[in-house]
């Protein structure tokens, strides 16, 4: 359930912010189970996300900004890189 929650948070961010307005650029997802480790890879062409990665959990009265902080705490690894115009996310959870 921890992996599913993290995937839901990152996945919804990718679906919401991962495609520039007015484009039909694809968003790619891959999910893999390999020897007790589940890995999700997501790629999108939205704006870079570097500035959002280190944000701490917002205050209890905030209605936004929890997704990445939650995912970091739920996963064994949360990877992100900007490759040209593409965001690449890697979510890893050992079962």
Q: Are residues 77 and 4 in contact, defined by beta-carbon separation less than 8 angstroms?
A: no
Q: What is the CATH number of the domain that holds 72?
A: 3.30.565.10
How many structural domains is the chain composed of?
Answer: 1
> How high is the pLDDT of residue 7?
97
Q: Read off the pTM.
A: 0.85
Q: Across the beta sheet with 77-83, what order do the strands follow?
A: 28-34, 37-44, 86-94, 77-83
Q: Which domain holds residue 36?
A: 2-94
Other Cβ atoms less than 10 A from the Cβ of 52: the count is: 15
pLDDT per residue of the chain (95 residues) written in tens, 0 to 9 = 999 999 999 999 999 889 888 888 889 999 999 999 999 999 999 989 866 566 665 566 666 657 888 899 999 999 999 999 999 999 999 99
């Amino acid at each position: 359930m921890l992996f599913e929650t993290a995937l839901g948070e990152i996945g919804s961010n990718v679906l919401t912010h991962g495609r520039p307005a007015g484009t039909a650029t694809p968003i790619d997802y891959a999910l893999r189970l390999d020897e007790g480790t589940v890995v999700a890879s997501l790629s999108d062409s939205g704006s870079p996300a570097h500035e959002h990665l280190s944000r701490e959990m917002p205050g209890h009265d905030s209605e936004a900004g929890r997704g990445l902080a939650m995912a970091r705490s739920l996963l064994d690894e949360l990877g992100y890189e900007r490759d040209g115009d593409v965001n690449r996310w890697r979510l890893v959870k050992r079962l």
